[in-house]
Structure 1
Amino acid sequence: MCFSLVNKYNVAGPRYTSYPTVPYWNVDKFSLKQWKENLKKAFEESNTTEGISLYIHLPFCESLCTFCGCNKRITKRHEVESPYISAVLKEWDLYCNLLGEKPNIKELHLGGGTPTFFDSKNLKILIDGITRKAKLADNYEFSFEGHPNNTTETHLQTLFDLGFKRVSFGVQDYNPIVQKAIHRIQPFENVKKVTEQARAIGYTSVSHDIIFGLPFQTEAHVAETINKTKELLPDRIAFYSYAHVPWIKGNGQRGYKDSDLPTPSIKQNQYQLGKKLLADAGYYDIGMDHFALKTDSLYTASVSETMHRNFMGYTASKTKVMIGLGVSSISDSWYAFAQNVKGIEEYYHLIESQIIPVFRGHILTNEDLIIRQHILNLMCHFKTSWIDSDLYFEEIPEVLSKLKEMEDDGLLNIELNQIFITEKGKPFVRNICMAFDLLLQRNKPETQLFSMTI
């Protein structure tokens, strides 16, 4: 990778799990009443055909990982489990009562926080409570995030028996110096144990998350981590760029200095090295930061161009409706976004008051819907087109003008009414999407809102 390109395009930019991105939501024109109306509309259009997705946020962790920017509550008090699960099930009741017809669940994902903070018996209460009021779609997919240090065989067996067939383990890096910096001491043996247990039980997809650009991390550390990962050959790998966002309250990233982080050029070298090692091991580059073996469903979805991206990341199929349960969860009706309150006590209060605990959101305009589709196309398929007049918008000439320099740099090809991202351009997909982001172009932030793109 040319260092001049890294320096040129290493700017702050969104990761585009949504469009519009959260800082550009028009919260002043949003209301809970509108959210309910939009959700019901989308649900009626799609429940019987494609079903819905559920994301459940389980925020508790026993210790703080300093690389993490997620919403969490650090505690060793496990008596917090039952009240939280009770509140989530009450929130689900509120949505089921609103929707009327039984939801047809296509996808369900447990994220956090640390889902495996919860005892397996409590997770069973949670999932039984969810499915009791729903139907399961054909070929439904249940998945969860597991911490290798506290995911037990009982966790794995209990969730498998409840329908979970995919699990993701957070690895990050195996080097002790890096692990100490990010407060995530996690031996390879722990990851090996849970990976092998999951496969023995019958999980069809095991994923590992690896991060590059961490404090004190070198290219040798990345190579060591990926070489160890190759011994276990997980079905898919998320090879994430570390997002340095120390201004987000409570994420622990002020525990080390900016100078402790790899420079942008070193960070890009880490990515290129990791990408080569993964390719050598049989992994295919299927989307920003994501790699999979040919046997994995995400690879199949990539080839068939059915892969989708939402607040849960990349998924193997699309649903118009995604309902987020729990603190800070974000829901998506395709026509609108809605985010839950972030404080646990406020969340409990609203649930007990029989109020869906949304505190902000955005109603998508026709322009938003068009731009959203282009960004989804670029993020999931590395191409987009406005041959279909429904995807044309007036600012296309301005977008192409912004992309011309990227084309000259070999990052993409502009053809008649189409754009194709080149192999060279894949690491810069966020930058390419930013050219389509009309809200960002019209109102560039005066302070940094996003992590750097490289």
Structure 2
Amino acid sequence: MERNLISKYNVAGPRYTSYPTVPYWDKASFSLQEWKRSLQRSFRESNYSDGLSIYIHLPFCESLCTFCGCNKRITKNHSLEIPYLESVLNEWKMYCKLFSEKPFIKELHLGGGTPTFFSARNLELLLKGIFKNSSKAADAELSFEGHPNNTSFEHLRLFSSFGFSRVSYGVQDYNEKVQKAIHRVQSFENVKKVTEEAREAGFTSVGHDIIFGLPFQTKEHIVNTIARTKELIPDRIAFYSYAHVPWIKGNGQRGFKDEDLPTAEQKREQYETGKQMLLDAGYVEIGMDHFALKTDSLFEAIENRTLNRNFMGYTSSKTQAMIGLGVSAISDSWYGFAQNVKGVEEYQHLVASKILPVFRGHILNDEDLIIRKHILNLMCKLKTSWYTGNQFFKGLPDTLIQLKEMQNDGLVEIDTIFLKITEKGRPFLRNICMAFDMRLQRSKPETQLFSMTV
């Protein structure tokens, strides 16, 4: 990739798991009642068969990984498991009471934190409680994030018995120096073991997460990590840039010095090298930072034009509403967003008081809804259009003027009614979406809110 393009477009920018992005939510005019009404509206509009997506945040980890930007609680006190899961189930009951009929689950994902911090027995109680108050689609996609060091065969058997078919393991990098810097030491043997056991338990999609741009990481480390990964042939791979945002995530990302990180040019070389290795191995690039075999449901979603992107990242199924349960979890009714409080004790207190534990959110206006569709199109289809009036928004002419320079650089193709991202432009997908982001364009942040785009 041309070095001048990297320096030109390497700016701070969102990853667009939502629009508007969280820093631009209109929190002042948000209310819990408006949020409930938006969710009920979405439930009424959706066909019952469309179902709901559920994300459950399980925040506990026994040790701190210094690359992690997730909301977590570091503890070895496993007596916290049951009280927390009881709160999650009570929160779910509150949501179920908002609906006119039993909700239908199309997608369920357990994230964290470390979901496998919890015992298989306690996770069974959680899943039984969730499905007691809902129905499950025959083709529901159920998945969880597994830690290679503590995911047991008992965990995998338990999840499989409930119909889980997908697991993603955080690999990051196999180099020992890098692993020590990010405080995530795990052997290739452990990853191999849990990958094989997942398949033995009946999982049809095993994913590995690999990060580039980590402290002390080199191109050679990427080559070695992906070479080892190819030995295990995971069905899908998330290959993404380390987001260095210690000013947001606190001291957890200060386990190393800024000068220990690769430069933007080195990061892009790591990505291009790894990407080519994955393509040569038969993986197909999906949207941004994701790769899948042609046998995986993520590739099928591209073929069927059902690929979706939400707070869980790229998904192969699409529902209009997603409910987030647990601390810091974000819900999405399509018409609005709501995020739960981030502290475990505050979360449990609110739920015990029979109050939905939401502390901020945003109700989308008409312009938000139009722009949201355009950004979703770009993130999932690498193109968007405005050939009908309901796809036009007031700022579109200015957006297209702003994109002229990217067009001159060969990153996008612009016609009178559509825009298409070129192969050369794929690494700059976030930058292209930023041109459509009217809330960002009208109020540029004075301080850095997001990670760098390259």
Q: TM-score, normalised by structure 2?
A: 0.99
Report how far residue 250 of structure 1 moved. Answer: 3.7
- Residue in 2 that maps onto 1:197: 197
- Residue in 2 that maps onto 1:46: 46
Runs of 4+ in 1 over 3 A off after TM superposition: none
Report how far residue 306 of structure 1 moved. Answer: 1.0
- Residue in 1 that maps onto 2:417: 417
Equivalent residue runs for 1:356-435 within 5 Å: 356-435=356-435
Report how far residue 249 of structure 1 moved. Answer: 3.8
Q: 2: CA distance between counterparts of 1:453 and 1:259?
A: 18
- Residue in 2 that maps onto 1:271: 271
8 Å contact kept, 2:141–2:317: no
- Residue in 2 that maps onto 1:92: 92
Q: Which runs of 5+ in 1 are unaligned?
A: none
Residues 60 and 132 of structure 1: is their aligned pair in 2 closer, same or farther, counting only changes over 3 Å? Answer: same
Deviates more, 1:295-304 or 1:165-174: 295-304
Report how far residue 165 of structure 1 moved. Answer: 0.6
Report how far residue 100 of structure 1 moved. Answer: 3.4
2:78 counterpart of 1:78 = yes
- Residue in 2 that maps onto 1:172: 172
Equivalent residue runs for 1:60-71 within 5 Å: 60-71=60-71
Q: 1: CA distance between counterparts of 2:389 and 2:293?
A: 36
Q: 1: CA distance between counterparts of 2:136 and 2:338?
A: 24
Q: 2: CA distance between counterparts of 1:60 and 1:248?
A: 19
8 Å contact kept, 1:47–1:103: no
Report how far residue 47 of structure 1 moved. Answer: 5.2
Tell me the secondary structure at the aligned position of residue 179 of structure 1.
Answer: helix
Report how far residue 388 of structure 1 moved. Answer: 2.4
Report how far residue 138 of structure 1 moved. Answer: 3.1
Q: 1: CA distance between counterparts of 2:65 and 2:85?
A: 23
Note the alpha carbon deviations across 1:19-46, whole angstroms, 9 max, x for none.
0000000000100011111111101111
Q: 2: CA distance between counterparts of 1:420 and 1:249?
A: 34
Q: Which amino acid aligns with 1:50?
A: D
2:31 counterpart of 1:59 = no
- Residue in 2 that maps onto 1:137: 137
Report how far residue 317 of structure 1 moved. Answer: 1.7
Tell me the secondary structure at the aligned position of residue 384 of structure 1.
Answer: strand
Q: Which runs of 5+ in 2 are unaligned?
A: none
Report how far residue 49 of structure 1 moved. Answer: 3.2
Report how far residue 303 of structure 1 moved. Answer: 2.1
Deviates more, 1:192-201 or 1:96-105: 96-105
Note the alpha carbon deviations across 1:369-402, whole angstroms, 9 max, x for none.
0000000000001000001221111221111111
Tell me the secondary structure at the aligned position of residue 168 of structure 2.
Answer: strand
Tell me the secondary structure at the aligned position of residue 360 of structure 1.
Answer: strand
- Residue in 2 that maps onto 1:280: 280
8 Å contact kept, 1:50–1:106: yes
- Residue in 2 that maps onto 1:238: 238
Equivalent residue runs for 1:253-332 within 5 Å: 253-332=253-332
- Residue in 2 that maps onto 1:27: 27
Q: 2: CA distance between counterparts of 1:300 and 1:443?
A: 38
Report how far residue 122 of structure 1 moved. Answer: 0.4
Report how far residue 80 of structure 1 moved. Answer: 0.6
Q: 2: CA distance between counterparts of 1:120 and 1:137?
A: 23
Give the % identical residues. Answer: 67
Q: 2: CA distance between counterparts of 1:453 and 1:336?
A: 26
- Residue in 1 that maps onto 2:154: 154
Q: 1: CA distance between counterparts of 2:152 and 2:39?
A: 37
8 Å contact kept, 1:331–1:339: yes
Residues 72 and 47 of structure 1: is their aligned pair in 2 closer, same or farther, counting only changes over 3 Å? Answer: farther
Q: 1: CA distance between counterparts of 2:136 and 2:44?
A: 17
Q: Which amino acid aligns with 1:96?
A: C
Equivalent residue runs for 1:326-365 within 5 Å: 326-365=326-365
Report how far residue 201 of structure 1 moved. Answer: 1.4
Report how far residue 57 of structure 1 moved. Answer: 0.1
Tell me the secondary structure at the aligned position of residue 15 of structure 1.
Answer: coil
Q: Which amino acid aligns with 2:150?
A: N
Q: Which amino acid aligns with 2:300?
A: T
Q: 2: CA distance between counterparts of 1:47 and 1:109?
A: 21
Tell me the secondary structure at the aligned position of residue 49 of structure 1.
Answer: helix
Report how far residue 304 of structure 1 moved. Answer: 2.1
2:119 counterpart of 1:115 = no
Q: Which amino acid aligns with 2:74?
A: I
Q: Which amino acid aligns with 1:224?
A: N
Tell me the secondary structure at the aligned position of residue 368 of structure 2.
Answer: helix
Q: 2: CA distance between counterparts of 1:402 and 1:341?
A: 37
Q: 2: CA distance between counterparts of 1:316 and 1:251?
A: 35
Q: Which amino acid aligns with 2:437?
A: D
Report how far residue 216 of structure 1 moved. Answer: 0.3
8 Å contact kept, 2:174–2:188: yes
Note the alpha carbon deviations across 1:37-93, whole angstroms, 9 max, x for none.
111110111150310000000000000000001000000111110000000000011
Tell me the secondary structure at the aligned position of residue 123 of structure 2.
Answer: helix
Q: 1: CA distance between counterparts of 2:119 and 2:235?
A: 26
Report how far residue 255 of structure 1 moved. Answer: 1.6
Q: 2: CA distance between counterparts of 1:325 and 1:102?
A: 17
- Residue in 1 that maps onto 2:105: 105
Q: 1: CA distance between counterparts of 2:91 and 2:251?
A: 27
Note the alpha carbon deviations across 1:338-365, whole angstroms, 9 max, x for none.
0000000100110010001001000000
Number of residues paired by the alignment?
454
